[in-house]
Amino acid sequence: MSTAPLAESVPESLASKLQAAQTELARRWLEQLNTILPVAKHDVFPGEQLLDHIPQLIGEIAVYLRTPEDHAIEANTAVMAKAAELGLLRYEQRASVHQLMREYHLLGTVLEQFIANEVSAMGAGADPPGALQAMVRVSQSVRVLQQQTVDTFVGKYAETIERQTSQLRGFTRLISHEIRQPLGVLQVLARVMPADDPSTAPLVQTLERNVVRLGEVAAKLERLARVARVTDPDTAAEQEIDLTALASDVEKQLQDMATTRDVRVIVDEGLPRIVADAGRVELVMINLIANAIKYCDPHKAERYVRVRQAPRCGRSIVIEDNGIGIAPAKVAKIFEEFVRAHADRDEELGAQGLGLGLAIVRECMEAMNGTVTVTSQDGEGAAFTLTWETHT
pLDDT at position 172 is 64
Where would I find the H helices in 36-127? Answer: 53-66, 77-92, 97-122
Mean pLDDT of 341-368: 75
pLDDT at 261 over 60: yes
Question: pLDDT grade, residue 300 (50/70/90)?
Answer: very high
pLDDT at position 141 is 83
> Cβ distance 32 to 110 under 8 Å?
yes
Mean pLDDT of 213-221: 69
Mean pLDDT of 56-79: 72
CA 146 to chain centre: 25
Residue that wins the pLDDT comparison between 338 and 272: 272
Whether domain 232-392 has CATH 3.90.79.10:
no
Query: Considering only CA atoms, which of 64, 39, 187 is closest in space to residue 135?
Result: 64
pLDDT at position 50 is 46
Question: pLDDT grade, residue 375 (50/70/90)?
Answer: very high
Cα(311)–Cα(298) distance, rounded to whole angstroms?
29
pLDDT at position 244 is 94
pLDDT at position 304 is 95
pLDDT at 41 over 60: no
Cα(119)–Cα(125) distance, rounded to whole angstroms?
9
Q: Percentage of the chain with pLDDT > 70?
A: 73
Mean pLDDT of 280-299: 90
Considering the chain, tell me which residue range(s) the CATH 1.10.490.10 domain(s) occupy: 9-163
What is the phi-psi region of residue 24: left when phi exceeds 0, alpha when psi lies from -120 to 50, beta otherwise? alpha
Average pLDDT, whole number, for the chain?
78
Mean pLDDT of 29-33: 79
Query: Considering only CA atoms, which of 136, 157, 149, 132 is closest in space to residue 57?
Result: 149
pLDDT at position 2 is 44
Long-range contacts of 51-57 (CB under 8 A, 24+ apart): 53/82, 53/85, 53/86, 54/26, 54/29, 54/30, 54/107, 55/22, 55/23, 55/25, 55/26, 56/22, 56/82, 57/82, 57/83, 57/145
Mean pLDDT of 97-113: 85
> Cβ distance 279 to 237 under 8 Å?
yes
Mean pLDDT of 31-49: 59
pLDDT at 6 over 60: no
Give, rounded to a whole angstrom, the gap between the first and last alpha carbons of the chain: 43
DSSP 8-state class, residue 123: G
Burial-class residue 183 by CB neighbours within 10 Å (0-12, 13-18, 19+): middle
Whether domain 9-163 has CATH 1.10.540.10:
no
State pTM to two decimals.
0.47
> Cβ distance 389 to 370 under 8 Å?
yes
Residue that wins the pLDDT comparison between 161 and 220: 161
Phi then psi for 6, rounded to 5 degrees? -65, 140
Q: What is each CA distance from 236 to 156, 279, 361, 388, in whole angstroms?
A: 27, 9, 16, 15
Please write the tens of the pLDDT for every residue from 189-202. Answer: 777 777 677 777 77
Considering the chain, tell me which residue range(s) the CATH 3.30.565.10 domain(s) occupy: 232-392
